[in-house]
A = this chain, B = another copy of it.
């Protein structure tokens, strides 16, 4: 049967979701929308995202990278304007800042955290500051409540990068609703995926108009296709349930890891008023976890051995200092260097599906961990 033969590719999906995705595509092929510029399925997806993120404007696009560039263009930045950027982030974000003609000012992340240090922003501010980019990274939600307040007080625009964390919330408010504008990604490695794709959302009409005037030439520069919308729609409709299921799986996994791997540090799953979403699970290696090797070498060994066992793993984004080679004003990235140095990441797809695959992963990790102690 067609509808039940989809291969799971994400811990966020299950068999009944696969059936919904197949049915959605089948309907699109039957009604001709797959070959149409203005397919209603695009509007249905926009409405679903607008409703869930509580924004008035959703622009679908072809990647998270273009979504972030559009968010920046929506802010109407001019040559010489400064944008505060986190010291640890997707490198395309700082490239996009330069591309639109603005200057990045790089602010460190907080100690032992992946996200922007709000306290350090004061030192970075100048009379040319116009906007702040904040990214929710590796399951950690940035302090966007404080950030938004600071931005509003100072007349800056907050650009929220939600590419890694669709469905995350703070006190039941969705991530993507805190920024003046926010970017989502539906790329192949992402929890909610169409192979590629993205969206930029805002409730600010001026930002929305600037985005429109940039990308409608008059055809759309970087559209999401109806086929992509058809596979995304069932995923967005089930977002909460999918993330709850994934968090439960992850919590079981992390609990077992805690007992077996005492020198590896894993993030907290319970976070009170926040609902997190782990696109990648970051694991910190403490220096006592190995004997003769340096931590960098130990991290690389673990990733290489995971790769041999066909388990998707990798390193975090490098610090902006390393990527951008010091262009822009650098306000320090000590904490960013520290947290990224000794960390490896497990892909959410490695934790996918059955408890069986979780057990296999644990076994592989155990033998890799034990070899590290030898």
> Could you tell me which A residues sit within 8 Å of B by CB distance?
2, 5-10, 18, 21-22, 25-26, 29-39, 61-66, 69, 90-92, 95-96, 187-189, 193-197, 217-228, 231
Q: Give 5 closest A-B pairs by Cβ, nearest first.
A: A37-B188, A92-B217, A62-B62, A7-B32, A227-B227
Residue among B31, B38, B187, B223 making CB contact with A219, cutoff 8 Å = B187
Given contacts A7-B31, A62-B223, contact A36 B217 (CB under 8 A): no
Residues on B with beta carbons closer than 8 Å to the beta carbon of A218: 91-92
**Separation in Å of the A242 CB from the closest CB of chain B?**
14
Given contacts A29-B22, A30-B7, A227-B231, contact A92 B219 (CB under 8 A): yes
Q: Is the Cβ of B92 less than 8 Å from the Cβ of A36? A: no
CA distance A26 to B227 in the complex (A): 12
Residues on B with beta carbons closer than 8 Å to the beta carbon of A29: 2, 5-6, 18, 21-22, 25
- A-B residue pairs in contact (CB < 8 Å), sample of 17: A2-B26, A6-B29, A8-B32, A9-B36, A22-B29, A25-B25, A35-B193, A35-B194, A37-B189, A37-B196, A39-B188, A62-B225, A65-B221, A66-B222, A92-B217, A195-B227, A227-B231
Q: Is the Cβ of B25 less than 8 Å from the Cβ of A6? A: no
**Separation in Å of the A192 CB from the closest CB of chain B?**
10
CA distance A192 to B129 in the complex (A): 46
Q: Is the Cβ of B35 less than 8 Å from the Cβ of A219? A: no
Q: Is the Cβ of B221 less than 8 Å from the Cβ of A66? A: yes
CA distance A22 to B22 in the complex (A): 11
Residues on B with beta carbons closer than 8 Å to the beta carbon of A225: 62, 194-197, 225, 227-228
Residues on B with beta carbons closer than 8 Å to the beta carbon of A63: 219-223
Residues on B with beta carbons closer than 8 Å to the beta carbon of A8: 32
Given contacts A31-B7, A194-B225, contact A219 B36 (CB under 8 A): no
CA distance A219 to B190 in the complex (A): 12
